[in-house]
Amino acid sequence: MRDVDDPGLMILVFIAIAIFTGVLWLVFGVGFGASFAIAMGAHLVAGIMMWVHMVLVYGMSEPVGGAERPVGRYILAAIAIVFFTGVLWVVFGVEHWVNFSIAAGTVCVAWIIMSVDERKRRRQEAEADRRRAEERDRREHREKQQGYRIEMIRLGEKSIEVFESMPKCLSSAETSLDRAENDFADSAFAPFWDSIENAAKTLAHFDKGLRDIEYNSSRYTELIKEYEDTPPEFPLARQSVAKLRVGSATAERMEALVRKAQRNFQFAMIYEQRKTNQILVAGFTSLAHALAQMTRQITASINGLSSSIGAIHSRMGDITEMASRHHKEHMEKTSEAAERQKKALEMLDNIQRGRRPFL
């Protein structure tokens, strides 16, 4: 792509003028002055034609320096004008000035027709490109929306799976605490702390489950804002999350047992040997850290989860009734999720009713 004032192009034009002048003078016998004038005129006409081409194809608003220049056509046009001039003079005996006018006019008309046709072609290509871009944007938008829906369903499914596992965590922790009470009564020092450590690890997994569900629900809330259709309902209800506060009571029970054991010199000695044991669950660094922070941590996680679930249901309340094309799918999934929650809630109720009172 060259500018009009490109030195290389100017040198090429001067060379072409010299060649065309020599051809007309030496080959066709035209006077030197007339040959030079015809060559200069041919390149002037070709230059004007190039400018006309730019206007017809790109329009007046297109900067000259920003558009592609038909340099090759410029040279071909000059050659054609000179060639036609020579043919008309030699073959038909027409005066070379008339020859030049006929040749220049013919090439100009042909050039204008080609330029108009090229502008039409470019306009059609631009329209086709615009339609393809719009269709691509629509397709990408549909795929993105479908991706949001799939991710929301996946987040809900993962959350209900975690929720189903949490009563088992609490049941296991309660079993370990029952065993710890028996160990304490039997003055079984090491087994007591084994049971406490097992209960702490299980409660740490319970807390991780709370934080996982909170993350899923927070991400779900973000997706609702981007999703344009009726979103699938998040499967956990506020009441189900509230029932998870049973876990705080289990943590408090463990805390009371540990406190009682630490008042006993022999149990306290064993604890000092074990308090640095690692608890390989995110959020806790050691047994001592878990025993000191478990109740507070679980309570904070439950509060955070309750807030997140509340935000989801408030957001869903702002959306119009679920009478959409997803209604049947929604009802089936809601029924299935409700049944799964019911089973988990029954297990939590059993844990709550079957727990021994704190010592």
- Determine the Cα–Cα distance for residues 268 and 245; give it in Å rounded to an integer: 29
pLDDT confidence of residue 66: 42
- Determine the Cα–Cα distance for residues 169 and 204; give it in Å rounded to an integer: 9
Q: Are 221 and 315 in contact (CB under 8 A)?
A: yes
Written as six digits, the tokens of 120 are 């039409």
Written as six digits, the tokens of 351 are 């844990």
pLDDT confidence of residue 58: 54
Q: Are 45 and 108 in contact (CB under 8 A)?
A: yes
pLDDT confidence of residue 346: 79
pLDDT confidence of residue 353: 73
Q: Could you tell me the mean pLDDT of each successive run of 10 residues in the chain, 359 residues long?
A: 47 56 56 57 58 54 46 56 56 50 52 61 85 92 94 93 92 94 94 93 92 93 90 88 90 93 92 81 78 90 90 69 45 65 79 59
Q: What does the pLDDT look like over 223-233, one tens digit per residue? A: 998 998 889 88
pLDDT confidence of residue 315: 74
Burial class (CB in 10 A: 0-12, 13-18, 19+), 269: exposed
The DSSP line for 201-246 is HHHHHHHHHHHHHHHHHHHHHHHHHH--SPPPPPS--HHHHHHTTH
Q: What does the pLDDT look like over 340-349, one tens digit per residue? A: 778 787 788 7
- Determine the Cα–Cα distance for residues 106 and 77; give it in Å rounded to an integer: 10
